[in-house]
Amino acid sequence: MTWGYVVLLFAGLWILQLVLTQLQSRHYYQELRLMQQQPNGYLGVGVNKRRFGVGAVVILVTDPQGMVTQCKRMSGVSVFSRFQKYGEPIGKSMDTLYDTASKQQKQPVQTALRMAIEQIRAAQAKQQQREQEQIG
């Protein structure tokens, strides 16, 4: 009889975790859509996911010249974590941020920031390649 309660408790906790994970996922996509509304520029998402310990997600938006216009971060160990405005990178160039983040490699937010910048650089390179193909 006790085992039945234990199994029921674990099943209930598992379902609760699934529901909370779904809510966090919706929040993530809602924030992503909001930040995609900038008329021109680039968007990058960096994720530093850890099995144990604090992880981080950074959403970074730049103008066409590579200056950061918007930035949000989410860090924590639970499904209760939410995105918060991350003002430190705003107004800085991607190159400066990348250099700074490279010096702080052990910090999850800095690693996620570097990944977002790398994603933006790849998008910029693709855009330049398309423009070159159209010209030539």
Dist. CA 67–CA 61, nearest whole Å:
8
pLDDT value for 136: 65
pLDDT value for 70: 93
Q: Going residue by residue through the chain (136 aa), what tens digit of pLDDT does each one get?
A: 588 899 999 999 999 989 988 988 898 889 889 888 888 889 999 998 877 778 899 999 999 999 999 999 988 777 677 889 999 999 999 999 998 888 887 888 999 999 999 999 999 999 888 888 888 6
Closest CA to 76 of 16, 4, 24, 34: 24
> What are the domain boundaries of the chain?
1-37, 40-134
The two three-digit tokens of residue 38, written as one number: 């900038």
pLDDT value for 1: 58
Q: How many residues does the chain have?
A: 136
CA 20 to chain centre: 18
Tell the burial category of 51 from Cβ atoms under 10 Å away from its Cβ (0-12, 13-18, 19+): exposed
Dist. CA 20–CA 80, nearest whole Å:
8
Which residue reads 């209760």 in tokens? 80
pLDDT value for 20: 87
